[in-house]
Amino acid sequence: MMTAMKQSAVVLCYHDVVNQVSTASGMQSPGSLLYKMRRSDFAAHLDAIGRAGLTPTLPNTNGQLTSENSLVLTFDDGGISAISEIAPLLESRGWRGAFFITTDWIGMPGFLHAADIAALADRGHLIGSHSRSHPQISRLSSAQMREEWQESIRILSEIVGSRVVTASVPGGFYSQQVARAASDAGCRLLFNSEPVVQLEEQNGCLVAGRFRVVANTTTKTIVGLAQRRRAPQLRQQLSWEAKKAAKRFGGALWFRLRNRLRPN
Ligand SMILES: [Zn+2]
């Protein structure tokens, strides 16, 4: 097995893909609209990745990234568009995605049902945890963090019929304690929202950063990120540091800023 020191991956973090922006999939708060991408724009991203000669891959069933330079497409929250839009667009190119599910939302309006999640897994997509209740998880006690990961991993493992070993941190509320709790709950590969390509190890759990994709992210940015160009990485790093600073001042300001900052 490759050591974490040497391993790197470009991981893109998508949310929902919708036919029209008003179409209901996933979260419905005003801030979440930023993360709902039009179907045609998402298809253009995939076409651009293909034209650049890149092929998205997935971690194996042990949560290991088998290529040293992986490109991984991830989708957070478990909105219904995972199965109605995203999976078909990926599969038509022979590709698969990683879907991270908030288990309290399974079966709610706009979200995947258990049968959809099982079907995605059967079709070769990766199913991971996005916590049980989508809390600001880094602000919880260690026991609460562990419960969030344990319970969601238990439910998802039951649905897909095999042990779930990957997770993504809701809202980017990451800390080392969050990783430790995930590791304790059996997570082997945890995705956060730090815009970096280098993987690091935390208590037996590999931690991978991700680059956020929003509704107006251009194909040029996607290809630049996938090709590990420095400029688009730097733009995301600056924007992410600003967001983290805003988060420290609490919710209202964070939402105002989140709606204003639109990194490409
Ligand atoms: Zn989320």
Per residue in 80-108, pLDDT (tens digit) is: 999 999 999 999 999 999 999 999 999 99
In order of 13, 43, 197, the CA distances from 213 in angstroms are: 6, 13, 15
> What pLDDT sits at residue 108?
97
Cα–ligand 1 centroid distance for 124 (angstroms): 22
Distance CA 199, CA 132 (A): 25
Q: Parallel, antiparallel, or unpaired: how do β-strands 98-101 and 16-18 relate?
A: unpaired
Pair of tokens at residue 79: 């909105």
Kindly report the number of other CB atoms within 10 A of residue 84's CB atom: 18
Gap from CA of 241 to ligand 1 centroid (Å): 19
CA of 193 to the centre of ligand 1 (A): 10
How far apart are the CA of 189 and the centre of ligand 1, in A?
Answer: 17
pLDDT for the residue 263: 45
Q: How many whole angstroms separate alpha carbon 195 and alpha carbon 122?
A: 30
- Pairwise CA distance, residues 199 & 64, whole Å: 11
Distance 79 CA to ligand 1 centre (A): 10
Segments of the chain assigned E as strands: 8-14, 16-18, 36-38, 69-77, 98-101, 126-129, 166-168, 189-191, 200-202, 205-208, 211-212
* CATH number given to 8-215: 3.20.20.370
Q: How far is the CA of 76 from the centre of ligand 1 (A)?
A: 5
Would you say 188 and 153 are in contact if contact means Cβ atoms under 8 Å apart?
no
148 with 187: CB under 8 angstroms? Answer: no
Q: What is the pLDDT of residue 69?
A: 78
Rounded to the nearest whole angstrom, what is the distance from the C-alpha of residue 134 to the centroid of ligand 1? 6
Say how many Å lie between the CA of residue 12 and the centre of ligand 1. Answer: 14
Ligand 1 midpoint to CA 1 (Å): 30
Residue 222's SS3 state is helix
Instruction: For residue 158, report the phi and psi dihedrals to the nearest 5 degrees.
Output: -65, -45
Report the pLDDT value the prediction gives residue 244, as an integer from 0 to 100: 82
In whole angstroms, what is the distance from residue 239 CA to residue 244 CA? 9
Spans in the chain with pLDDT lower than 70 = 1-6, 21-25, 27-31, 249-264
130 CA from centroid of ligand 1 (Å): 7
Query: For residue 221, which of 100, 44, 86, 82 has the smallest C-alpha distance?
Result: 44
CA of 111 to the centre of ligand 1 (A): 12
